[in-house]
Amino acid sequence: MRLSPGDPTDPRWSLRDVSAAAFFLTYLTVQVIVPMKGLTVPHFSRFSWKMYAAVARPITFLVVTSDGRIRTLRQLAPEHGQLATLRQLSVDPERFVPPHLCRALPSAVAILTYSDSSFEPARFPCRKTARP
């Protein structure tokens, strides 16, 4: 019995079948290789399985003003509005928030940072630059 080319029982692959299989295997390879590449870096990386695997650490920022007072961001919010919001866990707040607070609050002399992993606060001095 001879099979016609469009017969579903034909064991030969058509160009369409080969193209579909090649596309599927390429897609599957990309879906596995790209996230695995992210496992080789120690920090978070986009398009990897570690992208949302962080645990949020509670961090408290205190602002030391030029008059010597120490205030929390919540205490400063009515006067200055919301000063810092972190929506992405891959952003290191202890690195990026203190410089932002120094720029946003002209009366700030230093920013103190407390986290659950530290017994002593980290102190970030605010360097005032001369403005023309």
Task: Supply the pTM of this predicted model.
Answer: 0.53
Per residue in 41-98, pLDDT (tens digit) is 777 677 776 666 556 667 888 899 889 899 988 888 888 877 776 666 666 777 888 9
- In degrees, rounded to 5, the angle at the alpha carbon of residue 102 between the alpha carbons of residues 101 and 105 is 75
Q: Provide the sign of the torsion angle of the four alpha carbons 89, 91, 97, 100, taken in this order.
A: negative
User: Which contacts qualify for 23-29: CB closer than 8 Å, 24 or more apart?
Assistant: none
